[in-house]
Structure 1
Amino acid sequence: MRALLSENPEGKRGERAAAAALFSHSRPDPLLFLLLLSCALFIAYPLLLIFWRALYLEGRPGLSALPALFLREKSSLFHSFYTASLSALFSTALGFFLSLRISSSGRRGRSILLLLLMMSLVSPPFLSSLSYIQLYGRRGLITWHLFRISYDPYNKWGIIAMQTLHFSSLNALFLLDYLESLDGKWMDAARDLGAGSMAVLGTLLLPLLSPALLASFGLSFLRSLSDFGTPAVIGGRYDTLASDIYLQIIGYGKMEKAAAMNLFLMLPAFLAFLLYRRAVREGERRNGNGRGRERFTMQRLSLPALFLSFLSILSLLYFTVLSLQYLCIFLLGFLKAERGVYHFTSEYLSRLFRYDLSSLLLSLRLSLAAALFGALFGLLLSYYMERRLRFGKNALDFLISLPYLLPGTCFGLAYIMAFHREPLKLTGTSLILVLNLIFRQLPVVIRMGSTALLEISRELENAARDLGASKRRLLFEIILPQLSRPFRSAFLYLFTSSMCSAGAVIFLIDAGHKIAVYTLFDLINSGEYGTASLLSALMILSTVLLSALLSALFRCFCERKGKGRRGNEGSDRESSRTVHAL
């Protein structure tokens, strides 16, 4: 600000500031034009193209072929709805009970439980399916070697169980953050009026949590619809529409048919997304800005011992299964069973090095690039949407949300169709992978930026503008330095999600650009479970270690710039912002 004061000339300062304020929004902004052009080129154009190509199912435009295709695929569509509904229901209920138990835990127990939940956010896809086969398969470590039960794991219940296990972690984190954002005074008032703890839980807490529960259900339903990896690995003969779309693209190369099949998933996905967004907005309306509130924890309710025991047993079972999953991944890469006896082996490790580790290094490079450019792009766009864009904000927000609400197979196929020929030929390059990773996760970064901008007073911008600051200086010297914490959150989120992403980018790789997720999927399909376990462990360790290193570097940078004085309060606010954006 002092630099702006010294730079501003004497005399007629108020007149110039008034003129700048009057015409600041009318002048064309090249940066805003570039941001909007990018959204049009890499979101709107591919999605419009896939809609258009879906109409050419039999080589001519029209909708006449869609009813016949619907009748052929109605079984897979029903399977998708069935598994998505049950997985969303079970994972939401389990996430709710887990959030209650974590909220009522002590500080040390809470930290351990949260660490296990966060592990699922940095775990590669297909991890649950891989551990499920090794632990509960026909020759699984638990089913066969421990209980001598030959259980067939390849069915719909395996899909539902693994999706429930995987989705529950994010649901529990989301519900826990929402639960502790409630005003504890409401619960205290209800107890003072004579209500018991279970009555408060059923008549006050559950209605207050209903938006978060609906949002968790909608998000889990969306994730299940777009999940093709779990049905492809452990579904057996139980096909879902997402796995059939993958087969049509990879196995038969029928792009038009795959595009038309994606249309059947778009309507339920869109409805689930509307449910999710409406629930989130209702929750924000009820919570307001959170000022003057007392932090709520379940310890204030003093739950009955019987109900608390139920929560403890359920949480113990869940975290035991989760711990076994990671223990299986980290140990079975060095163990081999011969005649029912496990012994140490380095065979899988040598196979992994012979197979190719360059895919892991490529994934790290692409994820870092997507995190850096995606975080900067998303924060810039969120600033323009919140502070500069006078009209069309809702339409732009809907456009940006489309890649997130549509199945990953749809967005990946759209990029294949849009960028496989000149003058926009990007297939076969690393750039198409980075762009897909950025724009797929862009809505989350926009939410992070928008939430952070609410904490920055507009009066600061008005003061800088009155002092003669240009729009460029206002953005790069005043606004962006105050978004360092959201930038760190967005960067780390994009990095971890890019390392674990499979739904869209798996269709965009070629022989020269194999990423670690594709290598893992190939190993599982080839039956090389030991090598796949080692690769999964390497992906988890590299993601966690690099994320921790980057977080430490960001923290040191913020402290050197004088932005680390808020301490734990800033970290808690940042974590809350990240979970809300997720």
Structure 2
Amino acid sequence: MMLGLVFSMVFPIIELLKRALQDQSGTYIGLDNFTTYFTSPSLFQSAYHTVTIAIITTIISVSAAFLFAYAIERTHMKGKTFFTYIGLLPLFAPTMMYGIALIYLLGNNGLLTTGFFGLTEQWFGWEEFDFELYGMKGIIISEVIFTFPQAFLILKVALSTADQRLYEAADTLGASTLRKLVTVTLPSIKYGLVSAFFVCFTLSFTDFGAPKVVGGQYNVLATDVYKQVIGQQNFSMGATVGIILTIPAIIAFIVDQTIQRKQSGGVNSRAVPYKTPKNKGRDRLYLLYCSAIAFSVLLLFGAIAAAAFVKVWPYDFSLTLRNFGFGSVAGDGLKPYWNSLIVSTLTATIGTAVIFIGAYLTEKSRHLKWVRKVSYFLSILPIALPGLVIGLAFIFFFNEQAFTIPFINMEIANPFKWLYGSLAILVLANIVHFYAVAFITANTSLKKQDDEFESVSEAMNVPFYKTFSRVTVPLSLPAILEMAMYLFVNSMTTISAVVFLYSPDWKLASIAIVNMDDAGDIAPAAAMSLLIIATNIIVRVVYELLSKKLMNRTNAWKQTQT
């Protein structure tokens, strides 16, 4: 299993680093490419833009998500289930969709910038205005939408538990609401806040979809990689920018892991569950806030739906299904959508099996402790690797004719070259890209299972594979379903990990959206986005139904044991 991790993650990254130290002819030039990048004002400006966007996005997204999660977990506000689902809705859409939706709302012919196409000027005197969507402003709005549900999920879990005694002590000392927030609430969720900051910063720093659609002339590192590789065929400089793109993400990853290792249980066995005090004024205020967030999300998705079903925005609003045909546009018909279904299904099936077995060997094996530690590190490392970097590394590794063995200068033919341009490389790239989160899910589930299961099996001479299939897997079925759902949904929406790897025969739906956007076919791009969203929502509903059924069976089993 560890050899597989090295093969699919480490070797391609090494090949990427090697290419960054070479010129276009393959001659070793050391750090010259990095010097060229940082001494070029236009290229260096992209790095500044990327850091600026990531910082602003992280602050806005985490702050907004904290208030939203607080409303769900720490108030008596009505409609919590509805608001929770709406807050998670952006998870099911490709990042490019946010930019497309913003174009229809705030672009030159947008619903809001034209004052509902002149109606507000006619009725209220509200004239149209220029929002200047393309650039920093549009990217930040798109990235906030993209990262908000990730931060919300983390903070919702962090706020779900608290010790009532701390708040009672604060009330006894006469602490104000703000004082309790600063001295009790925020310290108790500091690790969740750190993780939310890390996730939002990394996602916005490395995202490609949103800057591609609404970035305009405002370049960032992700679009620089795309332009260097696709536009200029400068693979060495593309590799250089890819390495630069990875450095801040890895630093943030190391900081997060260091802080998480220091985490101790905030709620011990003597803790008293937190009881939310009643406050109608507070509940109304948070209901208003959550309603505004929900309205904004639904407005975005409504704009996409409207764009997909009308003939010509904003001139002919007659309803049509023509945009879903994709026959005369850059999307190549429905084939990319069916390709995405195949790739996502294989990613979910194969990826779940491989990742769960890897987590099992890492967590339950009692031998080769150092191998398990290395395996664990490699398993969580992909969370710090941008999708563009993984895709670019795969190009260099799998498209190489031969490898040179260090020190002896011996060349061997690349036995994996056949994967390049195939269905298999797309599946492999997706598995590597989303490996870490699925691995952590499996690992968490396995940690909850008593080690005595394996000990008893060994004492009774029961083969480990029987224990694995009859005990471990059944107990882990909820986590396995969660992993499969996660892999499928993200494989349907990802762009960055596969944008360099697809072939004409295996163009994916997310890639078709990129191509349609480049060709100016925005309405069909919106229609393809809507297909992806609908598919992911259906998968999520099926997952919820299966999980509920499994939980009922588990609870029934527990009741028979009592």
Q: TM-score, normalised by structure 2?
A: 0.87
Counterpart in the other structure of 2:323: 348
For residues 315 and 205 of structure 2, the distance between their equivalents in structure 1, rounded to whole angstroms, comes to: 38
Query: Structure 1 residues 392 and 349, CA, compared in 2 at 3 Å: closer, same or farther?
Result: closer
Counterpart in the other structure of 1:415: 394
Query: Structure 1 residues 92 and 351, CA, compared in 2 at 3 Å: closer, same or farther?
Result: same
For residues 455 and 87 of structure 1, the distance between their equivalents in structure 2, rounded to whole angstroms, comes to: 35
Q: Is the 8 A contact 1:445 1:490 kept in 2?
A: yes
Counterpart in the other structure of 2:31: 63
For residues 353 and 452 of structure 1, the distance between their equivalents in structure 2, rounded to whole angstroms, comes to: 48
Query: Structure 1 residues 339 and 464, CA, compared in 2 at 3 Å: closer, same or farther?
Result: closer
Query: Structure 1 residues 75 and 339, CA, compared in 2 at 3 Å: closer, same or farther?
Result: closer
What SS is found at the alignment partner of 2:369? Answer: coil
Counterpart in the other structure of 2:123: none
Q: Is the 8 A contact 2:207 2:496 kept in 1?
A: yes
For residues 156 and 258 of structure 2, the distance between their equivalents in structure 1, rounded to whole angstroms, comes to: 19
Counterpart in the other structure of 2:357: 380
Identify the match of residue 518 of structure 1 among 508, 511, 515. 511
Identify the match of residue 153 of structure 2 among 161, 173, 178. 173
Identify the match of residue 549 of structure 1 among 542, 545, 561. 542
Q: 1:184, CA displacement in angstroms?
A: 3.5
Query: Structure 1 residues 106 and 329, CA, compared in 2 at 3 Å: closer, same or farther?
Result: farther
Identify the match of residue 300 of structure 2 among 311, 325, 344. 325
Counterpart in the other structure of 1:402: 381
Counterpart in the other structure of 2:163: 183
Identify the match of residue 359 of structure 1 among 328, 336, 360. 336
Letter in 1 for 2:416: L
Q: Is the 8 A contact 2:154 2:195 kept in 1?
A: no
Letter in 2 for 1:77: A
Q: 1:83, CA displacement in angstroms?
A: 0.6
Identify the match of residue 424 of structure 1 among 396, 416, 425. 416
1:3-402 → structure 2 map (5 Å cutoff): 35-57=1-23, 59-61=26-28, 62-72=30-40, 73-106=43-76, 109-146=79-116, 147-283=127-263, 285-287=264-266, 291=269, 293-296=271-274, 299-300=276-277, 302=278, 305=281, 311-336=286-311, 342-351=317-326, 355-388=332-365, 389-402=368-381
Query: Structure 1 residues 107 and 383, CA, compared in 2 at 3 Å: closer, same or farther?
Result: farther
For residues 16 and 369 of structure 2, the distance between their equivalents in structure 1, rounded to whole angstroms, comes to: 30
Q: 1:525, CA displacement in angstroms?
A: 2.3
Q: Is the 8 A contact 1:123 1:500 kept in 2?
A: yes
- Structure 1 residue runs of 5 or longer lacking an equivalent are 1-34, 568-582
Letter in 1 for 2:377: F
Q: 1:198, CA displacement in angstroms?
A: 3.0
Match status 1:462 vs 2:458: no
Cα deviation digits, residues 456-501 of structure 1 (max 9, x gap) = 1112221111111233333333322221111111111111111111
Q: 1:228, CA displacement in angstroms?
A: 1.6
Counterpart in the other structure of 2:408: none
For residues 473 and 200 of structure 1, the distance between their equivalents in structure 2, rounded to whole angstroms, comes to: 52
What SS is found at the alignment partner of 2:529? Answer: helix
Cα deviation digits, residues 172-201 of structure 1 (max 9, x gap) = 121011111333343244334543433222
Query: Structure 1 residues 319 and 399, CA, compared in 2 at 3 Å: closer, same or farther?
Result: same
What SS is found at the alignment partner of 2:317? Answer: strand
Q: Is the 8 A contact 2:324 2:528 kept in 1?
A: no
Q: 1:345, CA displacement in angstroms?
A: 3.5
Counterpart in the other structure of 2:466: 473
For residues 313 and 517 of structure 2, the distance between their equivalents in structure 1, rounded to whole angstroms, comes to: 20
Structure 1 range deviating more: 62-71 or 512-521: 62-71
- Structure 2 residue runs of 5 or longer lacking an equivalent are 117-126, 402-413
Q: 1:129, CA displacement in angstroms?
A: 0.3
For residues 38 and 178 of structure 2, the distance between their equivalents in structure 1, rounded to whole angstroms, comes to: 47
Q: TM-score, normalised by structure 1?
A: 0.85
Question: How much identity, in percent, do the aligned residues show?
Answer: 24
Q: Is the 8 A contact 2:347 2:428 kept in 1?
A: yes
For residues 372 and 485 of structure 1, the distance between their equivalents in structure 2, rounded to whole angstroms, comes to: 15
Cα deviation digits, residues 88-144 of structure 1 (max 9, x gap) = 111111111111122245585111011112211111221110100010001101111
For residues 338 and 255 of structure 1, the distance between their equivalents in structure 2, rounded to whole angstroms, comes to: 39
Letter in 1 for 2:299: L
Query: Structure 1 residues 428 and 131, CA, compared in 2 at 3 Å: closer, same or farther?
Result: same
Query: Structure 1 residues 108 and 357, CA, compared in 2 at 3 Å: closer, same or farther?
Result: farther
Q: 1:551, CA displacement in angstroms?
A: 4.7
Query: Structure 1 residues 439 and 333, CA, compared in 2 at 3 Å: closer, same or farther?
Result: same
For residues 338 and 357 of structure 1, the distance between their equivalents in structure 2, rounded to whole angstroms, comes to: 22
For residues 551 and 311 of structure 1, the distance between their equivalents in structure 2, rounded to whole angstroms, comes to: 27
Q: Is the 8 A contact 1:167 1:220 kept in 2?
A: yes
What SS is found at the alignment partner of 2:394? Answer: helix
Q: Is the 8 A contact 2:309 2:321 kept in 1?
A: yes
Letter in 2 for 1:139: N
For residues 165 and 243 of structure 2, the distance between their equivalents in structure 1, rounded to whole angstroms, comes to: 47
Counterpart in the other structure of 1:433: 426
Counterpart in the other structure of 1:533: 526
What SS is found at the alignment partner of 1:469? Answer: coil
Counterpart in the other structure of 1:492: 485
Query: Structure 1 residues 314 and 510, CA, compared in 2 at 3 Å: closer, same or farther?
Result: same
Q: Is the 8 A contact 1:145 1:340 kept in 2?
A: no
Q: Is the 8 A contact 2:53 2:136 kept in 1?
A: yes
Query: Structure 1 residues 115 and 340, CA, compared in 2 at 3 Å: closer, same or farther?
Result: same
For residues 135 and 49 of structure 2, the distance between their equivalents in structure 1, rounded to whole angstroms, comes to: 11
Structure 1 range deviating more: 511-520 or 211-220: 211-220
Q: 1:294, CA displacement in angstroms?
A: 4.7
Cα deviation digits, residues 259-311 of structure 1 (max 9, x gap) = 1112212221111112322344444x2336x65655446x33x5683x66654
Tell me how large the CA RMSD over aligned residues is: 2.5
For residues 138 and 132 of structure 1, the distance between their equivalents in structure 2, rounded to whole angstroms, comes to: 10
Counterpart in the other structure of 1:575: none
What SS is found at the alignment partner of 1:148? Answer: coil
For residues 75 and 287 of structure 2, the distance between their equivalents in structure 1, rounded to whole angstroms, comes to: 10
Letter in 2 for 1:438: I
For residues 514 and 230 of structure 2, the distance between their equivalents in structure 1, rounded to whole angstroms, comes to: 13
Letter in 2 for 1:357: L
For residues 10 and 271 of structure 2, the distance between their equivalents in structure 1, rounded to whole angstroms, comes to: 42
The total of aligned residue pairs comes to: 527
For residues 52 and 339 of structure 1, the distance between their equivalents in structure 2, rounded to whole angstroms, comes to: 50
Letter in 2 for 1:418: F
Identify the match of residue 565 of structure 1 among 549, 553, 556. 556
